[in-house]
Amino acid sequence: MSDDGAPAQRGLVLVVEDERPIAELVRLYLTRDGFGVHVEHDGAAGLAAARRLRPVACVLDIALPGLTGTELCRRLRSTGDWTPVIFLTARDDEVDRIVGLELGADDYLTKPFSPRELVARLRAVLRRCAGGPELTEQPRAVGPVALDPARRTVAVGGEPVQLTSTEFDLLAHLMARPGRVFTREELLASVWGYAAHSGTRTVDVHVAQVRAKLGVGAEVIRTHRGVGYACAA
């Protein structure tokens, strides 16, 4: 259910935003799209709500009073909570975005943003979490890295590796076509589901995060300078 009692066919989304007009606009658009919405206006209350309500996704402003959005995300991830997170930030600062992604956020939008784009991004993130067309594909392995699309699991040398939904889909997309070089623009369109004008730096940060988590299996992702990325053949 939403805060206003509306039915939530798509599940409950937690919105933590201290600018009340923006929070209300986000709530309105998400509710229209069939989501239930719970709104908090500071980080500490948002963290408590995330733990209490177990939402399907969180939309977090970065510059929250008390507890920042990035710290809120860090605390969720530190306890094994991988609820999808989309960050909102008024700062056109690449460092903020990179820090958020490194903490395990699935996407971000810089203010001012289109509420319709936020809804589209959220739906894309939730589709990735639920699994896409690759659910029907067979498990695959490259070097020490084994990936099972149906179970959405990854292991390196038999040891499980925890990836966010976006990180998993990025790795799965590359591993599905070993040796094929994908441009950053192609990966944004195929994995994230939106156009390159959103910024290809997102791809680089996620690739770096996947490599860090794969450890000795990091070399399965090859960089082709000036072009993009490929999985080792």
What distance in Å separates the CA atoms of residue 173 and residue 19, rounded to the nearest whole number? 37
Residues 6+ apart with CB under 8 A from 8: 1, 2, 34, 35, 36, 37
83 φ/ψ angles, rounded to the nearest 5 degrees: -55, 130
Structural domains of the chain sorted by starting position, each given as residue range(s) with its CATH number in brackets: 12-130 (3.40.50.2300), 133-231 (1.10.10.10)
What would the pLDDT profile of 23-60 be if each residue is shown by its tens digit?
999 999 999 999 989 999 999 999 999 999 889 899 99
% of the chain surpassing 90 pLDDT = 51
Helix runs in the chain, H state only? 20-32, 43-53, 69-78, 94-102, 115-130, 165-175, 184-187, 201-214
| Strands across the sheet containing 140-142 | 140-142, 145-148, 153-156, 159-161
Quick: pLDDT tens for 179-214: 999 988 888 877 876 654 455 678 888 899 999 999
Q: Which of 28-32, 102-106, 108-112 has the highest mean pLDDT?
A: 28-32
Confidence (pTM):
0.66
- Which band of pLDDT confidence, cut at 50, 70 and 90, is reported for residue 131? low
